[in-house]
Amino acid sequence: MSDVFDIMEATVAGIHGAMRRCELTCAELVEEYVRRIEAYDRTGPALKSVILVNPEAPREAAGHDRTMAGGGPTGTLHGIPVLLKDNVETAGMTTTSGSLSLRNYVPDSDAFIVKRLKAAGALILAKANLHEFAIWGESVSSVLGQSLNPYDLSRTPGGSSGGTGAGVAANFAAVGIGTDTINSIRSPSSACSCVGIRPTLGLVSRSGISPYSLDQDTAGPICRTVADAAIVLDAIAGFDPDDPATAWSVGNMPASYASCLRTDGLEGKRIGVLRSLFGDGPEHEEVNLAMKCCLDEMKEAGAEVIDVDQPFDANHVVSEVSVHLHTLRDDLEGYLDGLGAKTAYRTLEELADSGEVHPGIVDNLRRAASLGRDGDEYRRRTIRRLVLRTRIVKLMADLLLDALVYPHQKRLVVPVGEPQTERNGALASAAGFPAITLPGGFSRPTGDAPVGVPIGIEFMGRPWSEGNLISIAYAFEQRTLFRRTPPFVPPLPRRGPFEL
Three state DSSP letters for the chain: CCCCCCCCCCCHHHHHHHHHCCCCCHHHHHHHHHHHHHHHCCCCCCCCCEEEECCCHHHHHHHHHHHHHHHCCCCCCCCCEEEEECCECECCECCCCCCHHHCCCCCCCCCHHHHHHHHCCCEEEEEECCCHHHCCCCCEECCCEECCECCECCECCCCCCHHHHHHHHCCCCCEEEEEECCCCCHHHHHHCCCEEEECCCCCECCCCECCCCCCCCEEEEEECCHHHHHHHHHHHECCECCEHHHHHHCCCCCCCCHHHCCCCCCCCCEEEEEHHHCCCCHHHHHHHHHHHHHHHHHHHCCCEEEEECCCCCHHHHHHHHCCHHHHHHHHHHHHHHHCHHHCCCCCHHHHHHCCCCCHHHHHHHHHHHCCCCCCHHHHHHHHHHHHHHHHHHHHHHHCCCCEEEEECECCCCCECCCCCCCECCHHHHHHCCCEEEEEEEECCCCCCCCCCCEEEEEEECCCCCHHHHHHHHHHHHHHHCCCCCCCCCCCCCCCCCCCC
Is-catalytic flag, 160?
yes
Alpha-carbon span 70 to 68, nearest angstrom: 5
* 443 counts as catalytic: no
Catalytic residue among 97, 99, 184, 193: 184
Q: Which of 160, 213, 429, 443 is catalytic?
A: 160
Residue 57, by phi and psi: left (phi above 0), alpha (psi -120 to 50) or beta? alpha
SS (H, E, C) 130-194: CCHHHCCCCCEECCCEECCECCECCECCCCCCHHHHHHHHCCCCCEEEEEECCCCCHHHHHHCCC
Sign of the Cα pseudo-torsion (10, 12, 16, 19, in order): positive
Active site residue 48: no
Measured distance CA(40)–CA(33) in Å, rounded: 11
Identify which of 423, 324, 424, 329 has the alpha carbon closest to the alpha carbon of residue 382. Answer: 324
Cis before 249 (ω within 30): no
Selected catalytic residue, list 48, 85, 127, 269 = 85
Q: Compute how many other C-beta atoms are within 10 angstroms of the C-beta atom of residue 61.
A: 22
Active site amino acids:
85, 160, 184
